[in-house]
Each structure stands twice: as C-alpha cells, then as structure tokens.
Amino acid sequence: MLLRPAARAFRADAIFLAAGLALTAAYFAIPRGAAQNDLYDLIGVGSSLAIVLGVRLNRPAYPLPWLLFAAGNLFFAVADIIFNHLVNPPVPSVADWFYLGGYPVLAAGLVLLVVHAGGLHRRAGLLEAAIVTFAFALFQWVWIVDGIVDGSGSVAQRAVDAAYPSMDVVLLAGLAGFFVTAAWRTPAFLLLVASIAALLVSDEVYGVSSNSYRSGDWTDLGWLLSYILWAAAALHPSMTRLSQPHRSRSLHVHPARIALLTAALLSAPFVLLVQRLRHAPLGAPPLVIAATAISIFVVLRLYGILRALEQSRERERSARADAEQAQMLLALQNDQLVEADKLKDEFVALISHDLRTPLTSIIGYVELSLEDVEPPLDAERRGYLQIVSRSSERLLRLVDDLLFVARLQAGRLVLERSHLDLCTIAAQAVVEARPRAEARQLALEFIGDSPVLIDGDKGRLFQLLDNLVSNAIKFTPEGGRVEVRAASSGGNAVLEVVDTGIGLGPDEAELVFDRFFRSARVVAQQVPGTGLGLFIARAIVEAHNGTIVASSREVGGTTFRIELPALVVPKPASQELVA
C-alpha cells in the first residue's frame, strides 16, 4: 500500500534525524584524521540533498526559500571539503568565500519566507526584530569584532575574520524577522530555530577561540547539529505552512515583550559594566550608535503599544455607546411589541365575543328548523341545514378557542375546583365522542378503574379531553383505534390518549403544544385545523399543576400522557373504646 505524502515526509524526517545523530556520535568516536573529515563532509552534503528531498516530498507552495537553504548549506559543505583537504590554507582562501557566501543565502531564504507569509505588514514585530538584532550586533562588536579589527595579521585576514561574526548578525536578523509571523508555532520552524541557534553558538565559540580550534573539537557539534536540524525541518510536513500567507493580527502586550524591551534597553549598560569589570577598553562610537538605535526602536515600540491601547479604548467606548443605543432601541421596540400583542389579544377577544352572539343565534334557529318534521322541509333542504349546523358549530368552537387563548394571555383563567373522579370524566368524554369515532369507522374505548380522585375544574377537564380525543379521531385513518386510559401511578393521576394515527414528525414532540403549530404531516395531508387545541390542552393541564407530554409510538400513532396531582383522601381516625 502506498503511503500518503505526509506520512512519507514524516518518516523521512524521523529517519534522517536519527541517522544524523548516529553519524554525529560516530564522528566524535573515531580518531581525528581523514575518515573523520570525510564523515563531516558526508553529513554536510547529505543535509543539502535532504532539504531538496523535503521540497520534493512536501511540495510547498513557495519552494524558493527552501532551495536557498539547500544552497546555503551546500556552500558550507563545499567550504568544509576545501578546508579539510587543504594543508595550511591561506587567508582568505576559497573556503572562506564559500563559508561567507552561505550566510547571506540562508538569510535571503528567511527573508523570503517572512515576506511571503505577510510578516512585513506587522511593523511592531519588525521593530522587535530590529531591537534584538542591534543588541546582538553590539555584543558581537564589543567582544569579538573589535578585537579582530584591532588585532594582528594582515588587513585581508582581519577582514575575513571579522566578516564571520558579522554574518551571524545578518543571519540572526533574518531569523528574528520571522517571529513576526504566526508560523513560529509549527514544528518545522522550531527545528529551524534550533538549527540556527546551534550554528550561532558554534560560531561564537569559534570566534572567541579561533586560534586554538582544531578539526574534531566539540565546536564541530553545533555545526553538525545545524546541518541535521535544518534538513529535518525541510523534511517535516509542517514546513509547507512556513510559506503560507498568514492573516495579519495585532500583537498582544505580553509580559515577554515587555521583558524583551527592558533587556534591550539594558544591553548597553550591561556591556559597559562587563567591560569595566574586565578592565577592557571600550570604544564610545559603537556603543553610542547601538544604544541610540535600540532606544529609538524601543520608544517607537512603546509608542505603538500605547497607540494600540488608545485605539482599543476608543473602539471599546464606541462599541459601548453603540450597545447602549441598541439596547435603548431594543427596549423601545420591545415595549411596542408588548403593546401590539396586548392590542391583538384585545382585538381577538372583542371580535370573538361579537362573533359568538350571532353564531349562537344561527345554531339555535338551525336546530329549530331541523326539528320540524312537516313539509315544506324536504330532504335536500334538510341536508343544507345540517351542513350549516356543522359549520356553525365548528366556527363556534374556533371562537371559543380564541376567547380561551385571549383570556389565558390576559391571565384571567380561573378554575372552579371540586373533588372529581378522573375515570368518570374520561368515560363520559368517550361516550360523547363515540358517534364521531363510529362515523369515521374507528374503535374508541376507555380503559380505567375507579376511583382516580383529583381536585380540578370539571368543565376544563372535559374541554381538555375533548381536544385530545378530537385530535386523535381527526388524525387516525379509518379502521384505526383510539384508547383513553385513566389510572393512579406513584401518587399521581395519569391520563393517556393513545391512537394509531399518522404520528409526529422528527423533533415535533415538544413543538405540538406551541400556539398555532401544525405538524408537517398534517399540513401535507391538508387536514383542517388552527393549531390551538393542544396549546389549550397544555394550558389547562398546567393550570392544574400537572404535566403533559407527547411521544410517537413505534407501531405508529401518538401517545399523549397527562399527570395530575392525585387527591389524597384522609382516612377516618379509628375510635378507641374507653372503659
């Protein structure tokens, strides 16, 4: 099975890192000589080839910086080969030109990564990079370069020797600039930082004790690790993220940044103190130039921080003002909505009340007309009057529902409580609804054993049962079954209405009790209704301090379960005979 490119790259990264460390250990284990030099050269050339291999495996969108890294490391490797095979090489030699040529090539690769990742748009980060670079340059000049410039030897030799620590400054500047992007969080960048750090440490050790250096010294460890870690960074899959553009974000005022600015400001006094303790001379111009540059950059950075804080405060004040204005507007709109809702309820109550009076008259006169068995009321006209009667009764129920909802919204629902047997009420409701069920060819049955005592409003409970049973009959196809069950359970009176109807859709069990809600299945089958029946049912149940839930049955249909507080009838106290 073929491995994915990311998996192959990760394996190559781990394999090269392990092999490089093993070869480094072997380098220090074998005696000084040609074999040791050849092993050193092998690691250097292998690093350049591994970087090219990492580009081929990981295929970054912008490969040029990594190819420059490969070229820079190849310059170092070529210089090592020349240096190892020359006896008493002159200064400057061809090896020096390759060594010194590798540093700007590596720095150019780092700068290209910074530019492509969008780091140059973050002025604050670039200022911090400049502060670090100038502080490092000051240390380099005072403790390394100045001694070389004023030392013995030819001008060419001193120029070449001074160029090495100067190139370290260039390389560090490129690396410090890379911290302005978000890519420093990737493993590839951490490996890159470790590689450059190892290179700079060995360069600094060599710059301090270049006269005593011999091939095979422990100073070589840093240079070997630099080769290995640079190649490992190129082979790691996360190397592709280093060249990806990152969206510029404002820098946070982190304590580490304040510590950096403080350390940079103290660099010049620290150098003065160390030189004073060493009784070493110190040229004023380099110190003044570095201290001035660092101070200017620190002031600019502090100005940027203060300006960013002020802008943040301005945005916060503007946002707070907008929020307060929006809150006032929202409160005004809320008051208007409450008033509109109140007017709507009053309008519905008024219209419903005015509709109820003529409807009652229409129903009454239709009933009187239907009671007349003598001509001239023939069968056709009787059928017309029956349609008018049914429509009027349906319209009257709708008006009653609207009046109930309006009364409920106004908080005027009053219960006339009394001790009731829930079984008796449920059985009577089934008897009254059975003709409707038989007209639809449905089986309607009541299951329960008396008594199930509760404290409730008889009229509202009949209304509750009528809504539930009517719904069950309406939404159950012909040949179906509807059951009404009443029983006591756990100190509660339990009432269930179970049908074999069309059931509920997904996630509709909690919505069926909302005002004007209608199930998707009901709408699809074009079953008439207003969506108020179950809303009224829940209001009645909650007014009785009970709960109502709906659930779909696995075999089809719906179950409505109501739990009401049962009435506890105290037992008569037993009378004891006293002699």
pLDDT at 256: 63
pLDDT at 356: 62
Pairing of strands 481-489, 443-448: parallel
Query: Which helix H or strand E contains 443, and what residues bound it?
Result: strand 443-448
Task: Dig out the tokens for 560 from the structure.
Answer: 């409505």
Contacts of 363 (CB under 8 A, 6+ apart): 389, 392, 393, 396
d(CA 542, CA 536): 10
Query: Which helix H or strand E contains 579, and what residues bound it?
Result: none
* Sheet of 481-489, strand order: 443-448, 481-489, 492-499, 558-565, 547-552
- Map out the domains of the chain as residue ranges: 5-117+184-250, 417-565
Helices (H), 410-508: 422-439, 458-474
Residue 497 — left, alpha, or beta (φ > 0 → left; ψ -120 to 50 → alpha)?
beta
Phi, psi (5° rounding) for residue 483?
-125, 140
Listed as ranges, residues in the chain with pLDDT below 50 are: 1-9, 120-121, 248-251, 574-579
Amino acid identity of residue 168, one-letter, is: D
pLDDT at 529: 62
DSSP designation for 145 = I
Phi, psi (5° rounding) for residue 201?
-60, -45
Phi, psi (5° rounding) for residue 444?
-120, 120
d(CA 520, CA 551): 16
Contact present, 193 and 172 (Cβ < 8 Å): no
pLDDT at 3: 43
* Strands of 511-554, DSSP E: 547-552
Q: Which fold has domain 417-565?
A: Heat Shock Protein 90 (3.30.565)
Whose CA is closest to 430, among 485, 501, 480, 477?
485
pLDDT at 482: 93
